Amino acid sequence: MTLDKNLSLTAAISAIIFASTVPVEVTKLAAHFEVTAEDIMNAAEKIKKQFEDSNCGIRLKETDGRYSFSTKPEYGESTAAFLDQRRAAFLSNAALETLAIAAYNQPVTKTYISQVRGVSSAEVVESLVDKGLLEEAGRLDLPGHPMSYITTDKFLTVFGLDSLESLPKQDSFIEKAEAEEEEYVQTSLTDSL
């Protein structure tokens, strides 16, 4: 679509990013406006600078070639308090466990998640797909050709992550679990004396 000469590409891009519920890809914007990716990135830099230079509580965020608007970190706490929404408050423990397994091991199958959790997780996976936090990633070349699942951009947004690399390192969980287990064993031994 060629943009009317009386309209600003920068303004049109910001309108699309604002209206979109998921981060918008540079390549899709470039194709839509029939311009180069560089034109889009230059316009995005102008938008980013406008928000940085103004006394505004939102920012333009770029992650892996995709743009979205988000609350500036310094306004995050007051915004969350006003909305009275905590990240993932609508998710059960089973859903949070399932998301953690998927995020750290993706792509994963329902069977894999069920084995790790020790209980059937098919319904939880389907619920997370319905919520847009997991998505199908194709069938694996395994017996039965099971469907695999990965986390979505909405997952990153809900949990305030820029990318999967922003997830806490698994080693820190293992060290903490080992320390807690050692403390438990020491306490149990002391209590039994």
pLDDT tens-digit map of 20-55: 888 999 999 999 999 999 999 999 999 999 988 888
pLDDT at 78: 82
| In contact, 87 and 159? CB cutoff 8 Å | yes
pLDDT at residue 3 is higher than 90: no
pTM of the model: 0.51
Separation between Cα atoms, residue 48 and residue 69, nearest integer Å: 10
| In contact, 93 and 101? CB cutoff 8 Å | no
* Residue from 91, 79, 179, 188 nearest 132 by CA: 91
* Single-letter code of the amino acid located at 53: D
Q: What is the mean pLDDT of residues 51-70?
A: 89
pLDDT at residue 186 is higher than 60: no
β-bridge partners, 149: 108, 136
pLDDT at 179: 60
State the burial class of residue 13 (Cβ atoms within 10 Å of its Cβ: 0-12, 13-18, 19+): buried
Separation between Cα atoms, residue 13 and residue 32, nearest integer Å: 10
Separation between Cα atoms, residue 95 and residue 123, nearest integer Å: 10
* Residue from 71, 90, 84 nearest 131 by CA: 90
pLDDT at 81: 72
pLDDT at 187: 55
pLDDT at 7: 79
What are 140-181's pLDDT values in tens digits? Answer: 888 889 999 999 988 888 887 888 888 888 766 666 556 666
Separation between Cα atoms, residue 32 and residue 3, nearest integer Å: 9
Q: Which of 25-29, 66-70, 74-78 has the lowest mean pLDDT?
A: 74-78
β-bridge partners, 157: none
Provide the CA 95 distance to its chain's centre, in angstroms.
15
| In contact, 149 and 130? CB cutoff 8 Å | no
Locate 5 and state its tokens: 């000469």
Q: Which residue did the predictor score with more confidence, 120 or 175?
A: 120
pLDDT at residue 133 is higher than 50: yes
pLDDT at residue 130 is higher than 50: yes
Q: What is the mean pLDDT of residues 78-92?
A: 67
Q: Which residues, other chains included, contact 67 with Cβ-Cβ below 8 Å and sequence gap of 6+?
A: 13, 17, 23, 24, 26, 29, 44, 60, 61
Confidence band, pLDDT 50/70/90 cuts, at residue 88: very low
Q: What is the mean pLDDT of residues 108-137?
A: 93
